[in-house]
Amino acid sequence: MASLFCLLALSSLATAKIVSNVTFPSSIAADILLGQPLDGFVTLTAHNIVGNASNPNKFSNNLLNNLGYLTGTKPYIRVGGNTQDYAIYNANLTIALNGTVNATRSPDYPTTVEIGPSYFESYSTWPNVKFTHGFNMGGNHDSRQWATLLQTAAIACKALGKEKLNWWEYGNEPDLFATSSHGPVRPSNYNESDYVSEWLAATRAIKGVLAETCPDMLSNETYGYLAPSFAGVSNYLKAARVWADGLDVDGTVRYFSTHNYISGATSPGVTLQGTLMNHTRTRSSVDAHVSEFAEIAAAAPGLVQIMGETNSLYNQGKPGLSNSFGAALWGIDFNLYCASVGIGRVHMHMGTNYRYASWQPITTDLTVVGTKAPYYGNIAVAAFLGNLRIEPVRIAHLDLARAEGNGTETDVGVRDSAYAAYVDNALARIIVINMRAYNYTLNGTGDLDARNPAPRKVRTYNFGVAGFEDGREAVVRRLYANGSDAITGITWDGISYNYELALGKPVRLRNVTAGERVTVKDGAVELAVPDSQAVVLDFDAV
């Protein structure tokens, strides 16, 4: 079992060094669940992203296949989000979905939504993909809400079958039902016991429908829920009280699901460096969820916490930030920090035209079809985790700190992070995420005619791997772009997944360096990492 320590120094004139002595943690999170990194598609746009029986979205499927190739399992898909609680079933609707946008409620998606029978064709389109289907709890003040629940339970179970079902979900972010900026759907005195009573009544009704329609989907292996799917840890409904009030009295909650957004698209002071490419902020945000879950976990041994919905900035992201390479680096850090603290799965939320989406599935009047920067972060996470079917992996967070008496850097461990992947308690891979922003364009404007004249700094990372003999090699794989403000021209290990090249299938580029290796010398490996880049060292690949 390799122990390791980390040294960081500037490769320019500075002589600062950052050192951290790390051994295999005495306490480390459990193996990562299959199907990570994951994507959650909003109800509104699932039919765009997935396609239907006659016209499957091959581009989307290719991108999922890429992730499945790396992790051994294609991502598990949650179909939900805000529009989950707007969706009303109309058996006579001849199209998959009919939506009406009310810009005063949301300019990004319709808040009046009807779905028809063909909507559920999406579930039969992709091979080897499991889905979580979200039922309408909010109701949107529509008297058809309960009928919709019973009708869609019968249709969804037939469309999915036990082979394609992951779990069910009833309600999206009910802790905002009485306070939502899109319009409250519950009275101001709505409380935890009200929610639990409502949730239990509906999930029991769903079970009754399944008993009649899909009785083979009622075993402990095929019937259960993600819950409570709260929007955060500081809203007026509290997860611990919900649990104490008997949310899982029927024993049907399979994963404790919570949602997280670091900040909002229109929140004051949001920046790429200060908000997203900020490891301290990511840790603080995730740790709040870990603390919340600790109280529940004490009463529910074996229950696993997941991020049922997350992405960079709520309200579908901010242009220039959420669709940038810097957001891809943030996504790597966020996913791996979650893994290191025991959060078993992360659903990265996306939808058609969303600024933070990993890809745009179709061309619309707002956005052209294509692979977006955050997808490359998904790929890097998948590659770092490795094939989870063959080798279950555990992730450890590596603390970085400036060595005493060396230099004056104050951003170590704030604008960079590192993680180790262990297989059978042995070091397999290390990842370094240098999140110091480097703008390829002047002031990050995105104007390609105004290039940034400042040189891109390079940091030298030295990892001590005391358990490896000198001469041991590691393969180096880099996530590369021209800068943190880049939205195109991104590669992983010299590979592009662009729509224009091969509909999202991997294409190796000849003009990008790949095949790099480093060698253990004096008990350490050393590599240079430019600002705004992530690098994986893979000891198992040689």
Is cis: bond before 37, omega within 30 of 0? yes
Burial string for 382-412 (b: 16+ CB within 10 Å, else e) reads bbbbbebeebbbbbbbbebebeeebbebeeb
> Which residue is it, tokens 């390829």?
440
- Residue 343 has, within 13 A of its CA and on its CB side, a CA count of 31
Q: Give me the average pLDDT of each 10-residue run along the chain (542 residues).
A: 43 42 61 60 72 90 96 92 93 91 80 92 92 96 97 98 97 97 94 99 99 98 98 97 98 97 97 98 98 94 94 96 98 97 94 94 95 97 94 90 65 92 93 95 74 88 87 97 96 98 98 93 88 96 80
Question: How confident is the model at residue 450, as a pLDDT?
Answer: 79
Nearest to 135 by CA among 204, 33, 38, 191: 204
Active site residues: 192, 309
Which domains, from first to last, does the chain contain?
4-29+392-538 (2.60.40.1180), 38-385 (3.20.20.80)
Question: How confident is the model at residue 9, as a pLDDT?
Answer: 39
Rounded-to-10 torsion of CA 288, 380, 265, 258 = -30
E strand or H helix that includes residue 502: helix 499-502
DSSP code string of 265-289: TT-TT--IIIIIS-HHHHHHHHHHH
Q: Which residues 6+ apart lie within 8 Å of 237 measured at CB? A: 174, 175, 190, 191, 192, 195, 228, 230
Sign of CA dihedral 183, 189, 194, 196: positive
Sign of CA dihedral 500, 502, 504, 508: negative
Sign of CA dihedral 63, 67, 72, 77: negative
What token pair was written down for 183?
A: 């319009």
Cβ contact 231:259 at 8 Å: yes
